[in-house]
Amino acid sequence: MISRDNLYDMTSAFIVIRHDVKSELNDEILLETKAKLKNQEMDKYIYEILVTICDEMIRVFDEKKFEQLYDLADCVHSLPEIIANNHLTIPDRYWKIYVDPYRKKWDKEFLLKEEKAMRKKKVRWFCIVAILMVIAILAVLVLQHYNIIPSIPRKAAEFNIELITSPVDYNNNGIDDYTDIMLGAREDAKNHPTYKSAYYDGGYPPDNEGVCTDVVWRAFKNAGYSLKDMVDADIIIRLEDYHNVEKPDPNIDFRRVKNLKVFFDEYAQILTTDIDDYEQWQPGDIVIFGDNTHIGIVSDVRNSKGQPYIIHNSGQFLREEDALKFWTPTAHYRFDASKVPDEVLKGWN
């Protein structure tokens, strides 16, 4: 069966192509990616979709339709990782959020046959699943009635988990940094910006647009920090550590997860990625997922096990959710302003 690492590598390849659609290496990258698929065991529907994507990107690249290639790479770059994180399946919401806009702009038939085939496969099991769902719903209702399982999110105190607060209140608003960061992320979740990956002059997207990294700088803004300015300053000082930055670009560097990982590796406490070590997950912590391609902020809400919710933006409906059951954390941090030198520490202006 195809491994998560192979799927993460495919996502990385698509991101590289999106970053430079005119690169002469793109054709080679796509052919190599397609060739690797032939040696992998996987669901035939998933295989056909991934091969179709590679073929379409090769065609668009060969025809030098670079604007379309950018939109196509933007449309599909997260799909391999989504497949990896969803038990080698494609959630229905992917088609609506990512594929439909591309179809409307460029090709109404793109992956349409493959989508219909996958939906037809699901229909075959609909009756059995429907019956099982009814039984499951009735069971849940009974268990909730007797308080065997909770029907509402839980707080740390219910699990005797002591909340950790920061000794720093950088913006002097009477609220510690960790809480400020968490509340800032929650404010962004309530605002529910449309998921849109784009390049913006000045760096900042409008309040009604954003991606996962925008949750983080907005959260830090609420604590009084300018994450953009801090990352930009650190890149100037430690450019050799930022392996994904060939030439500093303040308009986008702070919105790259891999750059944020370099920053937090240096200026934050590095914590466990064991989601069952409940006490180590505190509100305002930063968590990175997958192959350093997604990031979020830890909430003060927990599930029935005591695992924290994550505030993040991958285009999903609920921006504060029980995400750790779907996403695998690969890095976990707690920001420590005392570790940041004066030439890097920057306040929000």
Query: Which CATH number applies to 154-339?
Result: 3.90.1720.10
- Residue 145 and residue 174: Cα distance in Å, rounded? 41
- Residue 230 and residue 195: Cα distance in Å, rounded? 24
**Residue 148, pLDDT score:** 52
Beta strands in 118-182 (DSSP E): 154-155
Q: Render each residue's pLDDT in the chain as its tens digit; 349 residues.
A: 678 888 889 999 999 999 999 999 999 999 999 988 887 788 888 888 999 999 999 999 999 999 999 999 999 999 999 988 888 888 888 889 999 999 999 988 988 888 888 778 777 767 888 899 899 888 877 764 343 544 478 999 999 999 999 999 999 999 999 999 999 999 999 999 999 999 999 999 999 999 999 999 999 999 999 999 999 999 999 999 999 999 999 999 999 999 999 999 999 999 999 999 999 999 999 999 999 999 999 999 998 889 999 999 999 888 999 889 889 999 999 999 989 999 999 999 8
Q: Is the separation of the CB atoms in 311 and 327 below 8 Å? A: no
Among 179, 335, 338, which Cα is nearest to 270's?
335
Among 200, 174, 129, 181, which Cα is nearest to 300's?
181
- Residue 299 and residue 296: Cα distance in Å, rounded? 9
- Residue 229 and residue 234: Cα distance in Å, rounded? 8
**Residue 151, pLDDT score:** 46
- Residue 244 and residue 34: Cα distance in Å, rounded? 24
**Residue 145, pLDDT score:** 39
Q: Is the separation of the CB atoms in 205 and 216 below 8 Å? A: no
* Tokens describing residue 341: 């030198």
- Residue 42 and residue 90: Cα distance in Å, rounded? 13
- Phi, psi angle pair for 224, to nearest 5°: 100, 5
Tell me the torsion sign for CA atoms 102, 105, 106, 112: positive
Among 283, 285, 256, 258, which Cα is nearest to 269's?
285
H or E segment at 73? helix 66-76
- Residue 36 and residue 72: Cα distance in Å, rounded? 20
- Residue 41 and residue 29: Cα distance in Å, rounded? 21
Coil/strand/helix, residue 287:
strand
Residues of each domain in the chain carrying CATH 3.90.1720.10: 154-339
